[in-house]
Amino acid sequence: MRLNQSMVAANPFEKHLINRRRKKNKGFRSSGFTLMLTSMVDMFSMLVIFLLQTFSNTPEISIVRGMELPRSISASVVREAPVLAISKDGNLYLDQKLVGRTADISRKPDELLNKLNFIKKGWVSSHTTAFSGDINLQADREIESTTVSMVMAILTSSQFQSIQLAVIGK
């Protein structure tokens, strides 16, 4: 059996005290449900800082497995362009895909030229700017300079005027 208020508080002053206590408790209950945003703001601040530190606006080029690039004192920022790599075993790779051996391509450069022309045509559809004639050339440290100059001659004949040699800088 539950006791009624009239049974507990007989006089009006006791009723007044009970009602006053109830009103006081109601005020505390309504203000107790606030949302604490401090920890959420801290978490989002850390997330923004992490994303800003990991974001890079310069393109990155992947190096063919097993290739050791030459070292250089001066280095410049990499521009986005197709990558032609000459490995130390004499294979020629265009954007990580095997094109052939350098000895075969020096005799018959048509296959390499066709693939380079295909890249030039595909550049316009995947980029907002026209193809500028840039190409990144990676050559292993052990490759002879005559082989590198022969490949560069094929590139300039195919209207790749700006050849960037990939090196490891300081």
pLDDT tens sequence across 40-65? 888 999 999 988 888 766 666 777 77
pLDDT tens sequence across 15-26? 877 777 777 665
Q: Which residues contact 149 (CB under 8 A, 6 or more apart)?
A: none
What is the pLDDT, as a whole number, of residue 20?
78
Closest CA to 121 of 158, 79, 93: 158
pLDDT tens sequence across 147-158? 888 888 888 887
Same domain, 28 and 90: no
Tokens 């094109």 sit at which residue? Answer: 99
Whether residue 62 lies inside any domain: the answer is no
Whether residue 43 lies inside any domain: the answer is yes
Whether residue 59 lies inside any domain: the answer is no
Please give the structure tokens belonging to residue 165.
């040699």
- CA 152 from chain center: how many Å? 30
Residue 1 predicted with pLDDT over 50: no
Same domain, 31 and 103: no
Overall average pLDDT of the 73-83 stretch? 78
Q: Which domain holds residue 143?
A: 83-165
Q: What is the CATH number of the domain that holds 105?
A: 3.30.420
Whether residue 69 lies inside any domain: the answer is no
Residue 79 predicted with pLDDT over 80: no
What is the pLDDT, as a whole number, of residue 57?
66
Q: Look at 36 and 97; give whichever has higher pLDDT.
A: 97
pLDDT tens sequence across 107-131? 888 888 888 888 888 877 777 777 7
